[in-house]
Amino acid sequence: MTAAAATAAAAETAALSAGRTFSARAMEAGSEQAAAAADPGPAAPPSGSRGLGGVGSAEALAVLGAVGRRLLWLLPVYLAGRAGLSLGFVVAGVALYMGWKGRRLGKERSLRMAGLLLSDEEGAVSSGGLGRSLGKSDLPAWVSFHEVEKVEWLNKILAQAWPFFGRYMEKLLVENITPNIRASNSHLQTFTFSKVDMGEKPLKILGVKVHNGMNKKQILLDLTVSYVGDVQIDVEVKKYFCKAGVKGMQLHGMLRVILEPLIADIPIVGAVTVFFIRRPTLDINWTGFTNLLDIPGLSSVSDTMIMDSIASFLVLPNRLLIPLIPDLHEAAELRSPVPRGVVRVYLIEAKDLQSKDKYIKGMIEGKSDPYAVVRVGTQLFTSKVIDEDLNPTWNEMYEFIVHEVPGQELEVELFDKDPDQDDFLGRMKLDLGEVSRACVLEEWFPLQDGGRARVHLRLEWLTLMSDSSKLDQVLQRNKTISSKPEPPSAAILVVYLDKAQELPLKKSSKEPNPVVQLSIQDVTRESKVVYNTVSPIWDDAFRFFLQNPAKEDIDIQVKDDNRQTTLGSVTISLSRLLSADNLTLDQGFQLENSGPNSRIYMKLIMRVLYLDAPEGCLIPRPCPPGHLNVTESAYLGSSVDKSPRPLTASPDAQFGTENVIRIHLLEAENLIAKDNFMGGMIKGKSDPYVKVRLGGQRFRSRVIKEELNPRWSEIYEVIVNDVPGQEVEFDLYDKDVDKDDFLGRCKIPLRRALTCKFVDEWLPLEDVKSGRLHVKLECLPPIPSAAELEQVLLVNSLIQTPKSEELSSALLSVFLDRAAELPLRKGSKPPNPYASLSVRGTSYKTKVASQTADPIWDEAFSFFIKRPHTESLELQVKDDGHIVGMLSLPLSQLLAAEGLVLDRWFPLSNSGPGSQILMRVQLGVLISQHSGVEALNNVAGEENGEGSQKGSETELCIREDGDSGSTQELRQRMPYAHSHSELSDSPLGQLRLTVWYHMDARKLVAIVHACRNLKSSTKDFPDLYVSLILLPDKSRVTKRKTTLRKKTLNPEFNEKFEWDLPLEEAQRRKLEAYIKNGASFMSRPEAIGKVHLDLSQMDLTQGAAQWYDLKDDKSST
């Protein structure tokens, strides 16, 4: 269908609708006329007031208006058809309108809810439980904290004065602002404020915190302000029939007020300085033509532009100065004071970032392309993008001027670079007051909303010195710092631009519009424009970083506002400040290429950046050469002295302290039915599944079809650290074709599982009417002992569920310290080495150490280990993808080591003759104390008796039932295979079985381990298998059999079988196991012997492996 056809059809529908409306109103009017004739009431209006067919003119106009509005809606469709555009343009327009409408409704709802909250704060916070979800800084003023003062008296004053403030704003906008706007542009001659209403809801101050000022002539206040106003300001340009405006606004932030200088005269305070320490949050509800700003995409841009405008004069370093006395000499210094200090931020690396790049609708998980945004106030830097890396290394350094401490914060946000919209990876914030107290702070900071992600930062607080005595020392230290993207600074320069006098006129003898450009090397700052004067007053301030003040100049150009005409210039060597008192010059400078008396007045203040820290603070933790190479040779002695090579690795105290949380997702009850049919007339069920989240790890269960009481019996494992605030979260959904329906959520604090070690609970589902979830959480601390490993492997084989990943028996922790004497590149250039470590399918990669044959990585990694006897740690050292060294470490070496730890230098293969790597490798066995399986503490003792064959160890491979060809096997080493313990005089031999009931999965489990000392009726060795039958039912449903073991009388099977049935029914069954010879293809398999077990006589809740004597197949039990 084309747009023109759609237009015709829609127009016909609108006409029919309008006709029906017209007829209905005409009939209504006719009935009213008849009623009026029958009722001898007041006189009817003159007949001339009636229109066509007796219908009043008002009704006729209303009908015509309805028809016009409907046709107006069709105008875009008609225009698209006339232009020959496809229907897609119309659909896109409708989608854009719906997005705009949704944004509008969301803003109105947000303003309405915020207004209700502020109108009754105490009731809303107390009764609704909202107070528990609010941070300290978000709570209203009636909530008391010892450092925050309540100011309800001030709020009452504001409420009383607010109407008069509204009148003042109306007078200001109409009488002062309007003429200025009209004069600024000829197209705005008809501009007017058609409505100015500041509303009835005043600004509120939620609390005031008073700080001790930096000096005795200063009072420092922090005001938490919140404005949720019903303000309405409408503007109109009548010439173009253009209307716009604002109807409702929210503004929340921390406002700092500084009262200084304090003077010994009325009004005591010389000036008030006001500014926001951090960018406030803003939400504006637009009206009229500015409604377009609520279109998705434009909305965030418009709010950002407005916030930038506010930040340009009210967010640090910008301040609003209100002088209270005339001739305030310190105005420039108060408006732009000398900074408190400089913080140097080393953005080193990040770890465990979330993967955001997914392909084929999430079926294939990629990585991320991370970059960082580092911000202090309005100062912002963006790092380079690291392609496809979840553990990126940046090695970048940034410097920020700090204006207020405490108060200002360092904020680091990480994003994944995408072609359309970048994905958020997490953020961290830190008050710079902590950095100023610590001098040097180097830590791994966890990222909020980033899962397990962390970012590695080194922060240095540089004090501002007012003399040059330490400058040479600073310059010497800066030479040892290799930084990107800019070299480190040695000083800062603050320029207070005051005024100029007697500037030359333009060529047309008109007064100029002077502007000043200040440049140091490739950095240029520009002042505001002062119009129509030869003696401008700028009263502005600028700040520059200096790398070497003794060799740099500042170039000053005074120009007309067209930037083409130069009114004068001057170049000042900054070395003059080094010899000046207090590193300050405050004077007028003669302008060159200008008038004979043209001068510019400035105040230049230099401050040297000095790391004022004790010697111990200047020694960072060992960092790789790729880590910015921050050395302290100026303080620690000659760099020629080479420290001896350590003999063991030096991990931090947190290494090897991880725990493993084993999450048992069991079942749910009474879930909500979401699959309803015929508009809800027929009730269906749901297809539930569960999403599990912990520590940045996410798991998803299988879908149970059409079940309100599903059973999953799945197990997940997560490596966790004791970080406060973590929770195990469960979200339940109903699987649908389009969008999955929400079935509820629940969560358990991780701290509880770490403390109690075991949690078994039915959790009620939140945000839904009914439903609960049964889960178990088990905390498994790694134990450095191999004595329990065989028991752990057997227990894991019993509790392993078919739908879950193979359970881990141990945790491997690796601390990679450093490498030595790696081979050089061609041309004798040092490599850029990094290491990759892998165990089975899990791999990690270290950061890259730049240009060194002796890299220091100082990184730790953890691996889940399934089968320690057969697995190995594979390590490769690479340089730009080329392997420069390898190491394969079988974990069996760890099992034989004392304390399951190896800490030493390991030689690298395929590398240089002296290439080695230093690392600490330790293994911890994961022992479950709540598996429900009998402790088999003396299994090893029983199996390794005096009569056991030496060296008798075999590999146990437990194969999942029903998949004889599967390669998924649970392997362990058991010492019982050829043991002669528990030998009997059975003439047919013995069969070893484990029979156990899995309570969580509600399944009967049988493991066929092995046979021994079997008797053969032929000279040849038989081909054997075991057949299991669960009596009394002999159907194929209850039958199981192992794979064939050829040419042996002591076969080993180690295969696992399961039957789904309740415990009560299992206890009424009998299990028969037949050992059969299947060697002949033509003949029927021959039974060598059997074992008959009456399950009612066994304790099925305890799993223990036992040897059973074989009976003749023909004998009765």
What are 912-963's pLDDT values in tens digits? 888 999 999 999 999 887 766 544 433 333 443 433 333 333 333 333 443 4
640 or 146, higher pLDDT: 146
The tens digit of pLDDT for each residue in 791-812 reads 888 788 777 766 667 889 999 9
Name the percent of the chain lying above pLDDT 90.
Answer: 25
Name the percent of the chain lying above pLDDT 70.
Answer: 74
Residue 147, both tokens: 């450092």
> What pLDDT is stored for residue 654 in this prediction?
81
Please compute the mean of the pLDDT values over residues 323-327 and round it to a whole number: 82
Residue 236, both tokens: 């109109």
The tens digit of pLDDT for each residue in 1069-1091 reads 888 898 888 755 556 777 888 89
Choose the weakest-confidence range: 328-332, 644-648, 834-838, 1023-1027.
Answer: 328-332
Please compute the mean of the pLDDT values over residues 279-284 and round it to a whole number: 76
172 or 573, higher pLDDT: 573
Residues 6+ apart with CB under 8 A from 607: 338, 339, 464, 465, 466, 491, 492, 494, 583
> What pLDDT is stored for residue 25 in this prediction?
45
> What pLDDT is stored for residue 572 in this prediction?
93
Q: Is 91 strand, coil or helix?
A: helix
> What pLDDT is stored for residue 459 in this prediction?
93
317: cis peptide before it, omega within 30°? yes
**What DSSP assignment string belongs to 421-459?**
SPEEEEEEEEEHHHHHHHSEEEEEEEPBTSTT-EEEEEE
> What pLDDT is stored for residue 746 in this prediction?
94
Q: How far apart are CA 483 and CA 475, in angstroms?
A: 14
- Is the pLDDT reported for residue 904 higher than 80? yes
How crowded is residue 773: how many other Cβ atoms within 10 Å of its Cβ? 25
Considering the entire predicted model, what is its pTM?
0.45
Q: How far apart are CA 255 and CA 274, in angstroms?
A: 7
The tens digit of pLDDT for each residue in 629-688 reads 443 333 333 333 445 678 889 888 888 888 999 999 999 999 998 887 666 566 788 999
Total residues belonging to the chain: 1117
Q: How far apart are CA 956 and CA 969, in angstroms?
A: 9
At residue 565 the predicted structure's pLDDT band, cuts being 50, 70 and 90, is confident
Angle ∠(145,146,148) on CA atoms, nearest 5: 65
- Is the pLDDT reported for residue 361 higher than 70? no
Q: How far apart are CA 636 and CA 607, in angstroms?
A: 25
- Is the pLDDT reported for residue 162 higher than 90? no
Query: Is the distance from CB of 209 to CB of 221 less than 8 angstroms?
Result: yes
The tens digit of pLDDT for each residue in 824-875 reads 887 678 899 999 999 988 899 999 888 888 999 989 999 999 989 899 999 9
Residue 1057, both tokens: 């079988």
Residue 327, both tokens: 């001739």
Choose the weakest-confidence range: 61-75, 382-396, 398-412, 485-499.
Answer: 61-75
Please compute the mean of the pLDDT values over residues 600-629 and round it to a whole number: 64
- Is the pLDDT reported for residue 29 higher than 50? no
Give the chain's mean pLDDT.
77
148 or 292, higher pLDDT: 148
Residue 986, both tokens: 């059975």
- Is the pLDDT reported for residue 491 higher than 70? yes
Please compute the mean of the pLDDT values over residues 220-236 and round it to a whole number: 84
Please compute the mean of the pLDDT values over residues 864-893 and round it to a whole number: 91
Query: Is the distance from CB of 1095 to CB of 1006 less than 8 angstroms?
Result: no
Residue type, 477: R
46 burial level (CB within 10 Å; 0-12, 13-18, 19+):
exposed
Please compute the mean of the pLDDT values over residues 332-354 and round it to a whole number: 87
Query: Is the distance from CB of 815 to CB of 651 less than 8 angstroms?
Result: yes
Question: For residue 707, which of 692, 693, 690, 691 has the smallest C-alpha distance?
Answer: 690
> What pLDDT is stored for residue 541 in this prediction?
87
Residue type, 268: I
Question: For residue 922, which of 857, 862, 839 has the smallest C-alpha distance?
Answer: 862
Task: Using the structure block, give the residue that is written with the tokens 């000036």.
Answer: 271
Residue 546, both tokens: 């200096």
Residue 903, both tokens: 């800490």
Choose the weakest-confidence range: 639-643, 888-892, 918-922, 1012-1016.
Answer: 639-643
> What pLDDT is stored for residue 972 in this prediction?
37
> What pLDDT is stored for residue 656 in this prediction?
85
Q: Is 306 strand, coil or helix?
A: helix
> What pLDDT is stored for residue 931 in this prediction?
67
> What pLDDT is stored for residue 890 in this prediction?
93
Contacts of the segment 265-268: beta carbons below 8 A, 24+ positions apart: 265/325, 267/324, 267/325
> What pLDDT is stored for residue 256 in this prediction?
86
At residue 816 the predicted structure's pLDDT band, cuts being 50, 70 and 90, is very high
How crowded is residue 728: how many other Cβ atoms within 10 Å of its Cβ? 24
